[in-house]
Chains A and B, each alone.
Chain A
Amino acid sequence: MSPDSFILAIESSCDETAAAVLRPPGTILSSLIASQAEEHSRFGGVVPEVASRNHLLAVDPLVRRALAEAGVTPRDLGAVAATSGPGLAPALLVGASYAKGFALALGIPYLALNHLEGHLLSPFLGSEEIPHHVALLVSGGHTQLTEVRGAGRYTLLGRTLDDAAGEAFDKTAKLLGLPYPGGIEIDRLAAEGNPLRHEFPQALMESGNLDFSFSGLKTSVRYFLEKNPLLPSSPNGMADLCASVRHAIVGVLLKKTARAVEISGLDRVAVSGGVAANRALREGLQHLCTTKGWTLHLPSPELATDNAAMMAFAAMHHLRAGKQSSVGIEISPQWQVGGRF
């Protein structure tokens, strides 16, 4: 296989099915996501038996569309990759089985990849070398700090002990009565608010480790609203609440990230995952890195949320390192980074 052969990747670790075609090192020829809603509408509404096999129905038409949009035929592919974990077993099984079949039929390499590795590498799309850095991965399902020594070399430094940061945003937004997706709504309303008006807990802020805990924030906001029921509808009430909640979450993320970089003796930070789009987090990290003289890597918005293009890029690094997976390999729903790699 030539190093520039096209890579097809399939990502189906949770609700959505995604497929992408990459021309190495960094040209995304197509990157598609099939939502549940789209599949449901094709069958005229929610049919339980259909929805439970959502990935199965989505994957084949999606891959065909991804290839067509990329303008490549299966014969042009050099490898096929799929997310093998962590994630939901029935969902992972569909993407991985399909990708194995595709690779076997074409006689090309198959790669079983970690979803979190896809996120970790996403800020570096197009780079042949992944620099030594500290990575903050923040999404609805994951929040962790990882030392990345290069592609495939990860050490977990800390992680959330309960809720992920994205989940903390969405659930406090729900308590505040904001529409879904609440994290984005908090970020929008917070722009006009005073982040120091209310003090919400920043758990583990002063702990010596690099772990996070966000579940206490929900409980605190819940009791705050019981005691101050009229506050959200008062002038600036909602804006100040949103700014204060955001300050509580982002403050801990920034402080622990800074500590991780200092402890590791590095000068480089990358952020990935859906919460990487949060304005206060981006601005806070930019300010931190400017002040300290560190380099900051951010993914493009379409690479921050779950997608298959980041998996294709991770696949490229595996191939360059001479790695490929046996088609006999099973999915790993509990697979974490910094552990089994």
Chain B
Amino acid sequence: MATDNAVTSEGSAVVQSLEETRELASRLLPLMRKAGSVSLEGPLGAGKTHLVKAVASLLGVTEPVSSPTFTLLHSYSSGAYPLHHSDWYRLESEGEVLGLGLEEYLGEGVLLIEWGDKFPSLLPKDTLRIRITPQHDESRQIQWTLKP
């Protein structure tokens, strides 16, 4: 039986605060785990890294979660399962994405990819796509899709 908190493979919500982002992240977590890879999409300052921080905190990751924009990939092993955090913001060619060797990080835990929509054809199969759209009142609309 589905509970009130369960999310389906497609949906949308509006969050007003970091606490609500965290609450939504906890509801999305089973879907992220099922997908294994997650693409986080939305403009600069939308709150993509905040969503990653919320996931890390829910998993019990103890290390500080900082942006991988320049360093390209961070991995955290102190949580309930491995969390890998990549960022394609700075990448300009498919070759650069392939050079990350992300296939090594699939199948164990969750791989979160910021700006994954820059190279949609290179996203792993069954990637959960999450789009964050800032609203004028500073709330965020968060939409997600996991194609079966």
Q: A residues near B, CB below 8 A?
A: 14-15, 36, 46-54, 86-91, 139-142, 159-164, 166-167, 171, 174-175, 211, 215, 218-223, 226, 333-334
* Chain A CB within 8 A of B118 CB: no
Other-chain residue from A49, A50, A86, A163 in contact with B67 (beta carbon distance below 8 A): A163
Q: Which residue of chain B is the closest to A336 with respect to CB atoms?
A: B63
User: Considering only CB atoms, which chain A residue lies closest to B104 in the complex?
Assistant: A89
Q: Assess A333 versus B49: contact at CB under 8 Å? Given A14-B70, A49-B95, A162-B66.
A: no
CA distance A83 to B146 in the complex (A): 39
Task: Give 9 A-B pairs besides A89-B73, A162-B49, A222-B43 with Cβ atoms closer than 8 angstroms.
Answer: A14-B72, A48-B95, A52-B99, A139-B70, A167-B67, A171-B45, A219-B47, A223-B138, A334-B74
Q: How far is the CA of A83 from the CA of B100 in the complex (A)?
A: 17
* Residues of B with C-beta under 8 A to A223: 138
Tell me if B44 is interfacial: C-beta within 8 Å of chain A: yes
Q: Is the CB of A221 within 8 A of B71?
A: no
- Interface contact B45-A175, CB-CB below 8 Å: yes
CB distance from A291 to the nearest CB of B (A): 31
- Interface centre among B44, B77, B95, by most chain A C-beta atoms within 10 angstroms, is B95
**B128 nearest CB across to chain A (Å):** 22
Q: Which of B64, B70, B73, B99 contacts A166 (CB 8 A)?
A: B70
A141 CB contacts on chain B under 8 angstroms:
69-71
- From known contacts A159-B66, A333-B75, infer whether A36 and B138 are also in contact, taking CB-CB under 8 Å: no
Judge if B98 is at the interface, Cβ distance under 8 Å: yes
7 pairs across A/B with beta carbons < 8 Å?
A46-B94, A52-B101, A53-B99, A162-B65, A163-B66, A164-B66, A333-B73
Residues of B within 8 A of A (CB): 43-45, 47, 49-50, 53, 64-67, 69-75, 77, 93-96, 98-101, 104, 134, 136, 138
A333 to B101 CA separation, bound complex (whole angstroms): 13
Instruction: Decide if B45 touches A221 in the complex (CB within 8 Å).
Output: yes
Contact among A90, A161, A211 for B99, CB-based, below 8 A: A90
Asked if A54 meets B99 with Cβ closer than 8 Å, knowing A164-B66, A167-B69, the reply is yes
Bound form: Cα–Cα A177–B94 in Å: 25
Interface contact B45-A163, CB-CB below 8 Å: no
A273 CB to nearest B CB, Å:
11
Contact status A88-B100, CB under 8 Å: yes
Residues of A contacting B45 in the complex (Cβ-Cβ under 8 angstroms)? 171, 175, 215, 218-222
| Closest CB in chain A relative to B28 CB, distance in Å | 20
- Tell me, in angstroms, the Cα distance from A42 to B69 when the chains sit together: 27
**Complex contact B66–A161 (CB within 8 A):** yes
B95 and A140 contact, CB distance less than 8 A: no
In the A-B complex, the 4 residue pairs with the closest CB atoms: A51-B95, A141-B70, A140-B70, A218-B45
Complex CA–CA separation, A218 to B42 (angstroms)? 13
CA distance A338 to B24 in the complex (A): 35
- Contact of B136 with A226 in the complex, beta carbons under 8 Å: yes
Chain B nearest Cβ from A334, distance in angstroms? 6
Contact B93 A51 (CB under 8 A): yes
Name the distance in Å between A144's Cβ and chain B's nearest Cβ. 10
Query: Can you name the residue of chain A whose Cβ is closest to the Cβ of B94?
Result: A48
- Minimum CB–CB distance from A281 to chain B (whole Å) comes to 17
**Chain A residues whose C-beta falls within 8 Å of the C-beta of B95 in the assembled complex:** 46-52, 54
Contact of B44 among A52, A87, A166, A174 (CB under 8 A): A174
Picked from B44, B77, B104, the residue with its CB within 8 Å of the CB of A175 is: B44
Closest chain A CB from B18 CB (angstroms): 11
Inter-chain CA distance A89–B75, complex, in Å, is: 11
Q: CA of A160 to CA of B50 in the docked complex: distance in angstroms?
A: 14
Taken together as a complex, chains A and B put the C-alpha atoms of A187 and B69 apart, in Å, by 21
